């Protein structure tokens, strides 16, 4: 029976395992894994003079940057619009030292559309919705197409460097191999911010939440780089943050491409090994062969 030594509030979990190899004898080693725990996001607000606490979402995440994750999720779902709407953010729960629930309390004069909360449960559920409904839901959340003048022109050589720069900074991934990353670059190719999580959508929420709390939104002159694939859900979050260029190591989904084209986002996929594909917004990527 193996023994595990857990890092309670960290990003890593260490466990004794047996390594089996075709060429070498079996061996007992200590392996490092990414921590995965549930986080409940709750919203505190006033309705008809009454204080209400309501569960909004439960997500499996890597502990750390929980406040950024919570406000990033609420912002990209169209519930939060301004940092000034937040009165307080705190960990809470029924048990001592419970760090798996975050409550965002809103200022007393902030009104909440309860139907929008129901829509958010629906559009982010694992059962999924059809493409048309998803794009319409994105517009209802407050997303608007980016004007062409808002796009920076990004040299392809800068995008080619993203995988290397990301790996140099992914310290937890280097040990565990089990985390997704979302990185924010400027148009000079400088890495501005990085967040990691077992959930790719959580990594993006943390990144956007950090910008929200710092008052740095919108990200209209920034580039989002993803360590995995580009899904519709990640496009939705990027559009809400007004990100004009998205690049990913993996493939985009068909609905992600459709959303990128509809909302004026440049979308690149398979960014690795010195090449990438442009699926939308090719006029915003400066290549050696021209546009």
User: Burial code of 232-243, b = ≥16 C-beta within 10 A, e = fewer?
Assistant: bbbbbbbbbbbb
The DSSP letter of residue 20 is -
Alpha-carbon gap, residue 114 to 273, rounded angstroms:
47
Alpha-carbon gap, residue 153 to 232, rounded angstroms:
23
- 3-state secondary structure at position 41: strand
Alpha-carbon gap, residue 60 to 96, rounded angstroms:
21
Query: Which one of 92, 127, 130, 268 is the catalytic residue?
Result: 127
Task: Count the neighbouring beta carbons within 10 Å of the beta carbon of residue 177.
Answer: 11
Q: Is 130 a catalytic residue?
A: no
- Is the preceding peptide bond at 86 cis, omega within 30 degrees of 0? no
| Residue 213 burial class via C-beta count within 10 angstroms: exposed 0-12, middle 13-18, buried 19 and up | middle
Alpha-carbon gap, residue 240 to 144, rounded angstroms:
8
Phi, psi of 190 (to 5 degrees): -85, 135
- 3-state secondary structure at position 140: helix
Tell which phi-psi region holds residue 126, choosing left (phi > 0), alpha (psi between -120 and 50) or beta. alpha
**Tokens representing residue 270 in the block:** 């398979």
The residues, ordered by sequence, that sit 6+ positions from 131 with a Cβ below 8 Å of its Cβ are 232, 254, 255, 258
Active-site residues, by number, are: 127
């Amino acid at each position: 029976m193996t023994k595990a030594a857990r890092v309670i509030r960290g990003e890593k979990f260490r466990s004794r395992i047996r390594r089996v190899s075709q060429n070498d004898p079996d061996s007992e080693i200590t392996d490092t894994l990414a921590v995965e725990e549930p986080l409940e996001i709750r919203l505190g607000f006033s309705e008809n003079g009454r204080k209400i606490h309501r569960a909004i979402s439960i997500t499996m995440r890597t502990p750390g940057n929980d406040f950024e994750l919570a406000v990033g999720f609420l912002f990209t779902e169209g519930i939060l619009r301004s940092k000034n709407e937040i009165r307080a953010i705190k960990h809470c729960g029924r048990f001592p030292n419970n760090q798996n629930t975050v409550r965002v309390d809103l200022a007393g004069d902030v009104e909440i559309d309860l139907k929008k909360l129901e829509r958010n449960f629906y559009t982010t559920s694992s059962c999924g919705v059809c493409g048309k409904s998803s794009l319409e839901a994105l517009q209802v959340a407050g997303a608007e197409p980016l004007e062409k003048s808002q796009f920076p022109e990004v040299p392809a050589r800068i995008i080619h460097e993203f995988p290397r720069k990301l790996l140099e900074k992914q310290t937890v991934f280097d040990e565990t191999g089990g985390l997704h990353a979302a990185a924010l670059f400027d148009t000079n190719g400088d890495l501005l911010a990085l967040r990691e999580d077992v959930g790719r959508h959580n990594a993006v929420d943390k990144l956007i939440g950090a910008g929200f709390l710092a008052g740095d939104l919108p990200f209209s002159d920034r580039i989002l780089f993803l360590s995995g694939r580009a899904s519709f859900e990640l496009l939705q979050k990027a559009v809400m943050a007004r990100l004009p260029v998205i690049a990913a190591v993996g493939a985009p989904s068909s609905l992600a491409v459709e959303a990128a084209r509809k909302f004026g986002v440049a979308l690149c996929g398979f960014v690795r090994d010195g090449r990438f594909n442009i699926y939308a917004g090719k006029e915003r990527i400066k290549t050696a062969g021209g546009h």
